[in-house]
Amino acid sequence: MSRESGTATAEATPIHAQVSNLRPRDLLSKEDCLEMFRQVYLARYFDVRLIKEKKRGRLKGTLYSSHNQEAILVGALFGLKPTDWISPIHRDMPAFFLKDLRGDWNRPDRIGMSIEEVCAQVWGRVDSPGRARDNWSHIGSRSKKIIHSTSMLAGTIPVAAGLMYADRLNGGDAVCITFNGEGSTAQGIFHEAINYAAVHKLPVVTVVENNQWAYGTPFELGCATPDVADRAKGFGIPGLIADGQDVFDVYDKVMMAVEHARSGKGPSIVECKTFRAYGHGDHDDDRANKYRPQEEIIAGRARDPIGVCRQTLLDLGYISAAEATTYHAEGKNASEATNEDFPPEVVDYLNAGIEFALQSPLPAAEEGAMWVFKENN
Ligand SMILES: Cc1ncc(C[n+]2csc(CCOP(=O)(O)OP(=O)(O)O)c2C)c(N)n1
Ligand SMILES: [Mg+2]
């Protein structure tokens, strides 16, 4: 077709228009995409393995599963610079070790926690960041650029805003991603903090994992608009919606928000639609099977992020049909999945972390009151 006919040809399209049509994922290499797939498997295996360890009696404490939500963690973290900050909460335990995980997973200079530190935390051992004060996500690290997680829902968004304000004053170009459940978006502090970030154009990207449930409260009893992303309009900032089951769609939307933030245009909300696979915590599994209709659970888990990612890689020709059948963790609960359902490097990586945790001692009892009261000496 000629230009005169009014139909643009590839040659006639200006180069900047071709480039602007690219999605962030279009700039990922084949190796990047395969690495993201491995990381989705790694996040799932972490969850499966901890549940098994607890069933075997080798682990105590409550587990807050991220099963079915792994694509959100991997997709949101993959494109960050090592110097960017993150703020995970209870359902994001893998985020602590997924941060800056590209390349060699055991790289000592990685700006993210090691699998050993995270496993020691889960097992409440002396070598963990929390030194047994909690077995779960109440940890952080200034050097690893992870804001300390607290249980106060949405409570880390103002911290992120303050941190990014300081970074900008110091001439930095960091972005901070905060992870939040959809339930936390009904908190007053969520609105105050995002409003503050919007007014000051701070580089804070709020990733909302909309898994439809906040403990036993369904989405519609916490939010009067159909989408959490609608809340962005009130702050004058972009509100994006991602398919939380699709690691590449999450990557696209979060990277758009990250670029927007890094270039000085301010915060965004990225709502990732997903579904909580189990109960709020494992103490709630049985009850959650009653307060959530079975049909809803089946539908919510129908598109497993592992299967969705595998299909994309097949469509791109990055894996062969034979390779696609090698491992099959999707659709399986922790009780059904085995080590053979996961790539061996994923199993080995976690084995090393768990081994480290089991060999690390429990802290001495005298430590219990340390760092709580002012020491006189
Ligand atoms: C300010 C505050 N209110 C209540 C709680 C108790 N609580 C802990 S998690 C939770 C549900 C959170 O739901 P959501 O934000 O959707 O995250 P999800 O657990 O689904 O990932 C509640 C009510 C809390 N930790 N903090
Ligand atoms: Mg929720």
pLDDT tens sequence across 54-109: 999 999 999 999 999 999 999 999 999 999 999 999 999 999 999 999 999 999 99
- 279 pocket-lining for ligand 1 (C-beta < 6 Å): no
- 67 pocket-lining for ligand 1 (C-beta < 6 Å): no
Condensed to tens digits (0 to 9), the pLDDT of residues 130-158 reads 999 899 999 999 999 999 999 999 999 99
Q: How far apart are CA 192 and CA 367, in angstroms?
A: 37
Distance 182 CA to ligand 1 centre (A): 9
Confidence (pLDDT) at 377: 60
Distance 107 CA to ligand 1 centre (A): 34
Beta bridge partners of 210: 273
- CB count within 10 Å of CB 311 equals 13
CB 244 within 8 A of CB 91: no
Closest CA to 93 of 179, 215, 219: 179
Q: Is there a domain that residue 14 lies in?
A: no
8: pLDDT strictly greater than 50: no
Closest CA to 45 of 345, 284, 246: 345
Burial profile 16-55: b = 16 or more Cβ within 10 angstroms, e = fewer: eeeeeeeebbeebeeeebbbbbbbbbbbbbbbbbbbbbbe
**In one letter, which amino acid is 259?**
E
CA 229 to chain centroid: 18
- State the closest ligand 1 atom to the C-alpha of 91, by its place in the atom list counted from 1: 21
Confidence (pLDDT) at 15: 56
Average pLDDT over the chain, rounded to an integer: 94
11: pLDDT strictly greater than 60: no
Closest CA to 272 of 242, 300, 237: 242
Confidence (pLDDT) at 59: 97
Q: Is there a domain that residue 167 lies in?
A: yes
Inter-CA distances, 139 with 76, 89, 225, 253, 276, Å = 20, 10, 33, 27, 23
277: domain CATH number? Answer: 3.40.50.970
User: What range does the domain containing 247 cover?
Assistant: 27-358
Q: Is there a domain that residue 240 lies in?
A: yes
Confidence (pLDDT) at 6: 38
**Region for 264 from its dihedrals, namely left if φ exceeds 0, alpha if ψ lies in -120 to 50, beta otherwise:** left
Q: Is there a domain that residue 365 lies in?
A: no
Compute the chain's Rg from CA coordinates. Answer: 21
Q: What confidence category does residue 374 fall into, taking pLDDT thresholds of 50, 70 and 90?
A: confident
Q: How far apart are CA 122 and CA 186, in angstroms?
A: 29
Q: Whose CA is nearest to atom 4 of ligand 1?
A: 153
Structure-model confidence comparison of residues 1 and 22, the more confident one = 22
Distance 153 CA to ligand 1 centre (A): 6
Q: Is there a domain that residue 93 lies in?
A: yes
Q: Is there a domain that residue 22 lies in?
A: no
CB 136 within 8 A of CB 94: no
Condensed to tens digits (0 to 9), the pLDDT of residues 223-260 reads 999 999 999 999 999 999 999 999 999 999 999 999 99
Q: Is there a domain that residue 21 lies in?
A: no
Q: What is the pTM of this model?
A: 0.94
Confidence (pLDDT) at 12: 57
* Longest alpha-carbon distance in the chain: 86
Total length of the chain? 377
Q: Is there a domain that residue 5 lies in?
A: no
- Whether the CA torsion 286, 290, 295, 297 is positive or negative: it is negative
Phi, psi angle pair for 269, to nearest 5°: -110, 130
167: pLDDT strictly greater than 60: yes
Of 184, 269, 275, the one to substitute when testing ligand 1's pocket (max ligand atoms within 8 A of C-beta) is 184
The fraction of the chain above a pLDDT of 70, given in percent, is: 95
> Taking residues 349-367, what's their average pLDDT?
96
Q: How many domains does the chain have?
A: 1
